[in-house]
Amino acid sequence: MPEEKDTINKLAKAPIESLHLDAITVVTNLYRAAQGLRNKMEREVLAKHGLSWTSFSILYDLWIWESVETKKLAMSAGVSKATISNITNTLERKELCYRKVDNRDRRITCVVLTDKGRKVMEELYPQFHQGEVEVVSSLTVEEQKVISGMLRRVIRENNF
Amino acid sequence: MPEEKDTINKLAKAPIESLHLDAITVVTNLYRAAQGLRNKMEREVLAKHGLSWTSFSILYDLWIWESVETKKLAMSAGVSKATISNITNTLERKELCYRKVDNRDRRITCVVLTDKGRKVMEELYPQFHQGEVEVVSSLTVEEQKVISGMLRRVIRENNF
DNA sequence: TTAATATCGTTTCAACGCTAACGATTATGA
DNA sequence: TCATAATCGTTAGCGTTGAAACGATATTAA
Protein backbone atom coordinates (compact mmCIF):
# COMPACT_ATOMS: atom_id res chain seq x y z
CA MET A 1 0.00 0.00 0.00
CA PRO A 2 1.18 3.54 -0.66
CA GLU A 3 2.38 5.83 2.09
CA GLU A 4 -0.13 7.82 4.05
CA LYS A 5 1.72 10.99 3.08
CA ASP A 6 0.78 10.42 -0.55
CA THR A 7 -2.85 10.19 0.37
CA ILE A 8 -2.68 13.52 2.09
CA ASN A 9 -1.41 15.17 -1.07
CA LYS A 10 -4.18 13.65 -3.15
CA LEU A 11 -6.79 14.88 -0.74
CA ALA A 12 -5.97 18.52 -1.38
CA LYS A 13 -8.97 18.67 -3.67
CA ALA A 14 -11.21 16.38 -1.67
CA PRO A 15 -13.62 17.82 0.91
CA ILE A 16 -12.24 16.21 4.04
CA GLU A 17 -11.41 17.91 7.32
CA SER A 18 -8.65 15.71 8.65
CA LEU A 19 -7.12 12.30 8.05
CA HIS A 20 -7.09 9.79 10.87
CA LEU A 21 -3.91 8.01 9.92
CA ASP A 22 -4.13 5.45 12.70
CA ALA A 23 -7.57 4.36 11.55
CA ILE A 24 -6.27 3.96 8.00
CA THR A 25 -3.40 1.84 9.22
CA VAL A 26 -5.64 -0.40 11.29
CA VAL A 27 -8.04 -1.01 8.41
CA THR A 28 -5.26 -1.60 5.90
CA ASN A 29 -3.38 -4.06 8.07
CA LEU A 30 -6.56 -5.77 9.25
CA TYR A 31 -7.73 -6.51 5.74
CA ARG A 32 -4.32 -7.54 4.48
CA ALA A 33 -3.81 -9.97 7.35
CA ALA A 34 -7.24 -11.51 6.80
CA GLN A 35 -6.69 -11.77 3.06
CA GLY A 36 -3.32 -13.44 3.57
CA LEU A 37 -4.81 -15.77 6.14
CA ARG A 38 -7.55 -16.89 3.78
CA ASN A 39 -5.21 -17.35 0.83
CA LYS A 40 -2.76 -19.35 2.92
CA MET A 41 -5.42 -21.69 4.26
CA GLU A 42 -7.06 -22.25 0.91
CA ARG A 43 -3.72 -22.95 -0.73
CA GLU A 44 -2.04 -25.07 1.94
CA VAL A 45 -4.94 -26.87 3.60
CA LEU A 46 -8.24 -26.63 1.77
CA ALA A 47 -7.12 -26.93 -1.86
CA LYS A 48 -6.56 -30.70 -1.63
CA HIS A 49 -10.30 -31.12 -1.12
CA GLY A 50 -11.28 -28.25 -3.39
CA LEU A 51 -12.83 -26.28 -0.54
CA SER A 52 -13.01 -22.51 -0.19
CA TRP A 53 -12.71 -20.70 3.13
CA THR A 54 -16.49 -20.21 3.21
CA SER A 55 -17.18 -23.84 2.32
CA PHE A 56 -14.93 -24.93 5.14
CA SER A 57 -16.54 -22.59 7.63
CA ILE A 58 -19.94 -24.02 6.71
CA LEU A 59 -18.68 -27.58 7.12
CA TYR A 60 -17.23 -26.53 10.46
CA ASP A 61 -20.60 -25.27 11.67
CA LEU A 62 -22.25 -28.48 10.54
CA TRP A 63 -19.53 -30.50 12.26
CA ILE A 64 -20.23 -28.74 15.54
CA TRP A 65 -24.00 -28.38 15.37
CA GLU A 66 -24.96 -31.42 13.26
CA SER A 67 -27.86 -29.59 11.62
CA VAL A 68 -28.05 -25.87 10.87
CA GLU A 69 -30.64 -23.66 9.16
CA THR A 70 -29.57 -21.92 5.95
CA LYS A 71 -30.11 -18.49 7.42
CA LYS A 72 -27.92 -19.18 10.43
CA LEU A 73 -25.16 -20.46 8.16
CA ALA A 74 -25.30 -17.18 6.26
CA MET A 75 -25.01 -15.13 9.44
CA SER A 76 -22.21 -17.27 10.79
CA ALA A 77 -20.16 -17.07 7.60
CA GLY A 78 -20.95 -13.42 6.94
CA VAL A 79 -22.26 -14.06 3.42
CA SER A 80 -25.66 -13.78 1.77
CA LYS A 81 -28.20 -16.59 1.81
CA ALA A 82 -27.83 -16.88 -1.96
CA THR A 83 -24.18 -17.75 -1.47
CA ILE A 84 -25.10 -20.37 1.10
CA SER A 85 -27.54 -21.87 -1.37
CA ASN A 86 -24.86 -22.10 -4.05
CA ILE A 87 -22.22 -23.51 -1.76
CA THR A 88 -24.65 -26.04 -0.36
CA ASN A 89 -25.24 -27.23 -3.92
CA THR A 90 -21.51 -27.71 -4.40
CA LEU A 91 -21.09 -29.51 -1.08
CA GLU A 92 -24.08 -31.73 -1.87
CA ARG A 93 -22.52 -32.63 -5.20
CA LYS A 94 -19.43 -33.72 -3.26
CA GLU A 95 -21.68 -35.69 -0.89
CA LEU A 96 -20.38 -33.79 2.12
CA CYS A 97 -23.83 -32.62 3.28
CA TYR A 98 -27.52 -32.79 2.40
CA ARG A 99 -30.63 -30.64 2.76
CA LYS A 100 -33.52 -31.46 5.06
CA VAL A 101 -36.81 -29.53 5.08
CA ASP A 102 -38.13 -28.64 8.52
CA ASN A 103 -41.41 -30.41 9.33
CA ARG A 104 -42.83 -27.73 11.61
CA ASP A 105 -42.07 -24.81 9.26
CA ARG A 106 -41.72 -25.96 5.69
CA ARG A 107 -40.09 -22.66 4.67
CA ILE A 108 -37.00 -23.58 6.66
CA THR A 109 -34.28 -25.80 5.21
CA CYS A 110 -31.66 -27.39 7.42
CA VAL A 111 -28.29 -28.58 6.18
CA VAL A 112 -26.82 -31.77 7.66
CA LEU A 113 -23.31 -33.22 7.53
CA THR A 114 -22.84 -36.66 5.94
CA ASP A 115 -20.45 -39.30 7.23
CA LYS A 116 -18.15 -38.45 4.37
CA GLY A 117 -18.29 -34.81 5.38
CA ARG A 118 -17.44 -35.75 8.95
CA LYS A 119 -14.42 -37.73 7.80
CA VAL A 120 -13.19 -34.78 5.74
CA MET A 121 -13.45 -32.51 8.76
CA GLU A 122 -11.63 -34.97 11.01
CA GLU A 123 -8.82 -35.02 8.49
CA LEU A 124 -8.77 -31.31 7.70
CA TYR A 125 -9.38 -29.58 11.00
CA PRO A 126 -6.07 -30.52 12.66
CA GLN A 127 -4.22 -29.18 9.63
CA PHE A 128 -6.36 -26.05 9.60
CA HIS A 129 -5.66 -25.52 13.27
CA GLN A 130 -1.96 -25.96 12.66
CA GLY A 131 -2.21 -23.17 10.11
CA GLU A 132 -4.00 -20.95 12.61
CA VAL A 133 -1.20 -21.46 15.10
CA GLU A 134 1.47 -20.69 12.52
CA VAL A 135 -0.20 -17.49 11.35
CA VAL A 136 -0.28 -15.94 14.82
CA SER A 137 2.97 -17.50 16.04
CA SER A 138 4.75 -14.14 15.97
CA LEU A 139 2.47 -12.97 18.78
CA THR A 140 2.83 -14.09 22.38
CA VAL A 141 -0.19 -15.73 23.99
CA GLU A 142 -0.64 -12.57 26.00
CA GLU A 143 -0.68 -10.47 22.83
CA GLN A 144 -3.12 -12.90 21.26
CA LYS A 145 -5.52 -12.27 24.11
CA VAL A 146 -5.11 -8.51 23.73
CA ILE A 147 -5.69 -8.44 19.97
CA SER A 148 -8.67 -10.77 20.28
CA GLY A 149 -10.22 -8.48 22.84
CA MET A 150 -9.81 -5.46 20.61
CA LEU A 151 -11.12 -7.24 17.54
CA ARG A 152 -14.08 -8.48 19.53
CA ARG A 153 -14.95 -4.91 20.49
CA VAL A 154 -14.76 -3.82 16.84
CA ILE A 155 -17.03 -6.69 15.86
CA ARG A 156 -19.51 -5.95 18.62
CA GLU A 157 -19.67 -2.20 18.10
CA ASN A 158 -20.29 -2.60 14.37
CA ASN A 159 -22.70 -5.52 14.66
CA PHE A 160 -20.43 -7.62 12.45
CA MET B 1 -19.11 -19.14 15.77
CA PRO B 2 -19.50 -22.13 18.09
CA GLU B 3 -17.76 -22.33 21.40
CA GLU B 4 -14.22 -23.61 21.57
CA LYS B 5 -15.35 -26.25 24.02
CA ASP B 6 -17.48 -27.88 21.31
CA THR B 7 -14.48 -28.10 19.06
CA ILE B 8 -12.55 -29.92 21.73
CA ASN B 9 -15.21 -32.59 21.95
CA LYS B 10 -15.22 -33.10 18.19
CA LEU B 11 -11.49 -33.53 18.13
CA ALA B 12 -11.57 -36.64 20.29
CA LYS B 13 -11.18 -38.70 17.11
CA ALA B 14 -8.82 -36.32 15.33
CA PRO B 15 -5.05 -36.76 15.63
CA ILE B 16 -4.15 -33.51 17.31
CA GLU B 17 -2.00 -33.00 20.35
CA SER B 18 -3.44 -29.83 21.81
CA LEU B 19 -5.70 -26.97 20.89
CA HIS B 20 -4.35 -23.46 20.98
CA LEU B 21 -7.55 -21.68 21.88
CA ASP B 22 -6.07 -18.20 21.76
CA ALA B 23 -4.88 -18.74 18.21
CA ILE B 24 -8.34 -19.90 17.20
CA THR B 25 -9.90 -16.82 18.74
CA VAL B 26 -7.49 -14.46 17.00
CA VAL B 27 -8.09 -16.02 13.59
CA THR B 28 -11.86 -16.14 14.04
CA ASN B 29 -12.16 -12.53 15.17
CA LEU B 30 -9.64 -11.30 12.62
CA TYR B 31 -11.52 -12.77 9.69
CA ARG B 32 -14.93 -11.73 10.97
CA ALA B 33 -13.83 -8.14 11.50
CA ALA B 34 -12.32 -7.98 8.01
CA GLN B 35 -15.40 -9.55 6.45
CA GLY B 36 -17.69 -7.10 8.23
CA LEU B 37 -15.44 -4.22 7.23
CA ARG B 38 -15.58 -5.18 3.57
CA ASN B 39 -19.33 -5.73 3.57
CA LYS B 40 -19.96 -2.41 5.29
CA MET B 41 -17.80 -0.45 2.87
CA GLU B 42 -19.23 -2.11 -0.22
CA ARG B 43 -22.77 -1.55 1.00
CA GLU B 44 -22.50 1.98 2.40
CA VAL B 45 -19.85 3.62 0.24
CA LEU B 46 -18.90 1.66 -2.87
CA ALA B 47 -22.29 0.35 -4.01
CA LYS B 48 -23.41 3.70 -5.41
CA HIS B 49 -20.67 3.40 -8.03
CA GLY B 50 -20.92 -0.37 -8.39
CA LEU B 51 -17.42 -0.92 -7.07
CA SER B 52 -16.14 -3.90 -5.12
CA TRP B 53 -13.54 -3.63 -2.36
CA THR B 54 -10.86 -4.89 -4.74
CA SER B 55 -11.91 -2.53 -7.51
CA PHE B 56 -11.68 0.37 -5.10
CA SER B 57 -8.27 -0.68 -3.83
CA ILE B 58 -7.02 -0.78 -7.41
CA LEU B 59 -8.42 2.66 -8.14
CA TYR B 60 -6.76 3.86 -4.95
CA ASP B 61 -3.37 2.61 -6.10
CA LEU B 62 -3.85 4.29 -9.46
CA TRP B 63 -4.93 7.49 -7.74
CA ILE B 64 -1.70 7.54 -5.74
CA TRP B 65 0.74 6.23 -8.33
CA GLU B 66 -0.87 7.44 -11.57
CA SER B 67 0.35 4.39 -13.49
CA VAL B 68 0.84 0.88 -12.09
CA GLU B 69 1.88 -2.44 -13.61
CA THR B 70 -0.68 -5.24 -13.53
CA LYS B 71 1.56 -7.45 -11.45
CA LYS B 72 2.07 -4.81 -8.79
CA LEU B 73 -1.67 -4.25 -8.60
CA ALA B 74 -2.13 -7.97 -7.94
CA MET B 75 0.44 -7.98 -5.14
CA SER B 76 -0.96 -4.84 -3.59
CA ALA B 77 -4.54 -6.11 -3.58
CA GLY B 78 -3.59 -9.66 -2.59
CA VAL B 79 -5.40 -11.25 -5.53
CA SER B 80 -4.27 -13.16 -8.63
CA LYS B 81 -3.26 -11.44 -11.85
CA ALA B 82 -6.28 -13.04 -13.53
CA THR B 83 -8.52 -11.15 -11.16
CA ILE B 84 -6.71 -7.91 -11.92
CA SER B 85 -7.20 -8.55 -15.62
CA ASN B 86 -10.94 -9.06 -15.16
CA ILE B 87 -11.39 -6.07 -12.88
CA THR B 88 -9.40 -3.88 -15.23
CA ASN B 89 -11.82 -4.87 -17.97
CA THR B 90 -14.74 -3.79 -15.80
CA LEU B 91 -13.09 -0.51 -14.84
CA GLU B 92 -12.23 0.18 -18.47
CA ARG B 93 -15.84 -0.40 -19.43
CA LYS B 94 -16.77 2.23 -16.87
CA GLU B 95 -14.09 4.52 -18.31
CA LEU B 96 -12.35 4.83 -14.95
CA CYS B 97 -8.97 3.62 -16.25
CA TYR B 98 -7.20 2.42 -19.39
CA ARG B 99 -4.36 0.06 -20.31
CA LYS B 100 -1.02 1.23 -21.67
CA VAL B 101 1.62 -1.17 -22.97
CA ASP B 102 5.17 -0.45 -21.80
CA ASN B 103 7.45 0.61 -24.64
CA ARG B 104 10.66 -0.78 -23.17
CA ASP B 105 9.20 -4.18 -22.29
CA ARG B 106 6.14 -4.96 -24.34
CA ARG B 107 5.17 -7.83 -22.03
CA ILE B 108 4.31 -5.32 -19.33
CA THR B 109 0.95 -3.56 -19.21
CA CYS B 110 0.40 -0.49 -17.09
CA VAL B 111 -2.98 0.68 -15.92
CA VAL B 112 -3.68 4.41 -15.78
CA LEU B 113 -6.45 6.40 -14.09
CA THR B 114 -8.71 8.54 -16.30
CA ASP B 115 -10.02 11.96 -15.31
CA LYS B 116 -13.36 10.35 -14.65
CA GLY B 117 -11.66 7.83 -12.40
CA ARG B 118 -9.95 10.64 -10.52
CA LYS B 119 -13.24 12.41 -9.96
CA VAL B 120 -14.79 9.22 -8.59
CA MET B 121 -11.92 8.84 -6.14
CA GLU B 122 -12.13 12.44 -5.01
CA GLU B 123 -15.80 11.89 -4.27
CA LEU B 124 -15.49 8.43 -2.74
CA TYR B 125 -12.32 8.53 -0.67
CA PRO B 126 -13.56 10.95 1.99
CA GLN B 127 -16.61 8.75 2.50
CA PHE B 128 -14.47 5.64 2.58
CA HIS B 129 -12.18 7.23 5.12
CA GLN B 130 -15.18 8.20 7.23
CA GLY B 131 -16.16 4.52 7.23
CA GLU B 132 -12.66 3.54 8.32
CA VAL B 133 -12.88 5.91 11.24
CA GLU B 134 -16.28 4.61 12.27
CA VAL B 135 -15.22 0.98 12.14
CA VAL B 136 -12.34 1.44 14.58
CA SER B 137 -14.01 4.14 16.68
CA SER B 138 -14.43 1.76 19.62
CA LEU B 139 -10.63 1.68 19.97
CA THR B 140 -8.59 4.54 21.40
CA VAL B 141 -5.86 5.99 19.22
CA GLU B 142 -3.37 4.30 21.51
CA GLU B 143 -5.07 0.93 20.99
CA GLN B 144 -5.16 1.54 17.26
CA LYS B 145 -1.39 1.91 17.27
CA VAL B 146 -1.03 -1.29 19.29
CA ILE B 147 -3.27 -3.42 17.09
CA SER B 148 -1.65 -2.06 13.94
CA GLY B 149 1.74 -3.02 15.27
CA MET B 150 0.64 -6.55 16.02
CA LEU B 151 -1.11 -6.97 12.67
CA ARG B 152 1.96 -5.65 10.90
CA ARG B 153 4.08 -8.31 12.59
CA VAL B 154 1.66 -11.02 11.52
CA ILE B 155 1.76 -9.70 7.96
CA ARG B 156 5.53 -9.51 7.92
CA GLU B 157 6.20 -12.91 9.47
CA ASN B 158 3.86 -14.64 7.02
CA ASN B 159 4.94 -12.66 3.95
CA PHE B 160 1.35 -11.55 3.41
C1' DT C 1 22.35 -16.30 -34.32
C1' DT C 2 19.42 -19.52 -32.61
C1' DA C 3 17.27 -22.51 -29.34
C1' DA C 4 15.81 -23.02 -24.75
C1' DT C 5 14.06 -20.71 -20.78
C1' DA C 6 11.70 -17.25 -18.18
C1' DT C 7 8.32 -13.69 -17.55
C1' DC C 8 4.20 -11.17 -18.48
C1' DG C 9 -0.86 -10.56 -19.22
C1' DT C 10 -4.90 -12.81 -21.01
C1' DT C 11 -8.14 -16.53 -21.57
C1' DT C 12 -10.71 -20.51 -20.01
C1' DC C 13 -13.50 -22.75 -16.82
C1' DA C 14 -15.56 -23.65 -12.59
C1' DA C 15 -16.82 -21.86 -8.26
C1' DC C 16 -17.86 -17.86 -5.19
C1' DG C 17 -20.68 -13.82 -4.02
C1' DC C 18 -24.03 -10.09 -4.28
C1' DT C 19 -28.72 -7.88 -5.29
C1' DA C 20 -33.18 -8.33 -6.80
C1' DA C 21 -37.00 -10.96 -8.13
C1' DC C 22 -39.54 -15.01 -7.34
C1' DG C 23 -42.48 -18.93 -5.48
C1' DA C 24 -43.76 -21.30 -1.42
C1' DT C 25 -45.09 -21.19 3.27
C1' DT C 26 -46.55 -19.11 7.53
C1' DA C 27 -48.38 -15.31 10.37
C1' DT C 28 -51.45 -11.47 11.00
C1' DG C 29 -55.84 -9.05 11.16
C1' DA C 30 -60.17 -7.42 9.63
C1' DT D 1 -62.67 -16.96 6.82
C1' DC D 2 -59.81 -14.77 3.58
C1' DA D 3 -56.86 -11.24 2.08
C1' DT D 4 -52.57 -9.05 3.27
C1' DA D 5 -48.07 -9.04 4.99
C1' DA D 6 -43.87 -11.23 6.51
C1' DT D 7 -40.35 -14.76 6.11
C1' DC D 8 -37.87 -18.43 4.03
C1' DG D 9 -34.76 -20.55 0.36
C1' DT D 10 -33.96 -20.55 -4.54
C1' DT D 11 -33.11 -18.61 -9.04
C1' DA D 12 -31.42 -15.18 -12.52
C1' DG D 13 -27.98 -12.19 -13.87
C1' DC D 14 -23.76 -10.15 -13.37
C1' DG D 15 -19.14 -9.35 -11.58
C1' DT D 16 -15.26 -11.48 -8.80
C1' DT D 17 -11.78 -15.11 -7.95
C1' DG D 18 -8.03 -18.53 -8.81
C1' DA D 19 -5.53 -22.50 -11.16
C1' DA D 20 -3.94 -23.84 -15.32
C1' DA D 21 -3.15 -23.32 -20.10
C1' DC D 22 -1.95 -20.14 -23.56
C1' DG D 23 0.35 -16.74 -26.71
C1' DA D 24 3.58 -12.94 -26.92
C1' DT D 25 7.80 -10.95 -25.59
C1' DA D 26 12.35 -10.84 -23.46
C1' DT D 27 16.44 -13.14 -21.57
C1' DT D 28 19.92 -16.59 -21.41
C1' DA D 29 23.09 -20.01 -23.19
C1' DA D 30 25.34 -22.49 -26.55
Mean pLDDT calculated for residue range A50-72: 97
3-class secondary structure, B35: helix
Q: Classify domain A20-132 at the CATH topology level.
A: Arc Repressor Mutant, subunit A (1.10.10)
Query: Which has the closest alpha carbon to A30: B89, B132, B108?
Result: B132
Q: Which amino acid is at A155?
A: I
pLDDT tens digits, residue range B78-134? 999 999 999 999 999 999 999 999 999 999 999 999 999 999 999 999 999 999 999
**Could you tell me whether strands A97-101 and A109-113 are parallel, antiparallel, or unpaired per DSSP bridges?**
antiparallel
Q: Pick the residue with more confidence: A101 or A4?
A: A101
> For residue A13, is pLDDT > 60?
no
| pLDDT for B11 | 61
CATH number of B20-157: 1.10.10.10
Q: Average pLDDT of B38-50?
A: 96
Put simply, whether A75 touches B (Cβ < 8 Å) is no
Query: Of residues 101 to 130 in chain B, which lie within 7 A of strand D by their beta carbon?
Result: 104-107
Distance CA A63, CA A49 (A): 16
Torsion sign over Cα B87, B92, B93, B95: positive
Please state, in angstroms and rounded to a whole number, the distance separating the CA atoms of residues B121 and B113.
Answer: 10
A18 band by pLDDT with thresholds 50, 70 and 90: confident
Cβ–Cβ gap B29/A158 under 8 Å: no
State whether the beta carbon of A71 lies below 7 angstroms from any atom of strand D.
yes
What is the spatial distance, in angstroms and rounded to an integer, between the CA atom of B38 and the C1' atom of C22? 28
For the residues A111-136, what does the mean pLDDT come to? 97
Cβ-contact B47, B128 below 8 angstroms: no
Radius of gyration of chain A (CA): 20
What ipTM does this complex have?
Answer: 0.92
Instruction: Provide mean pLDDT across the span A76-104.
Output: 97
Phi and psi at A24, nearest 5°, equal -60, -45
Contacts A5 to B, Cβ<8 Å = none
The answer to whether the Cα torsion of A52, A58, A62, A67 is positive or negative is: negative
The secondary structure of A47-71 as a DSSP string is GGGT--HHHHHHHHHHHHHSEEEHH
Strand partners of residue A97: A113
Report domain extents, chain B: 20-157
Higher pLDDT, B14 or A111: A111
B142 CB contact with strand D at below 7 Å: no
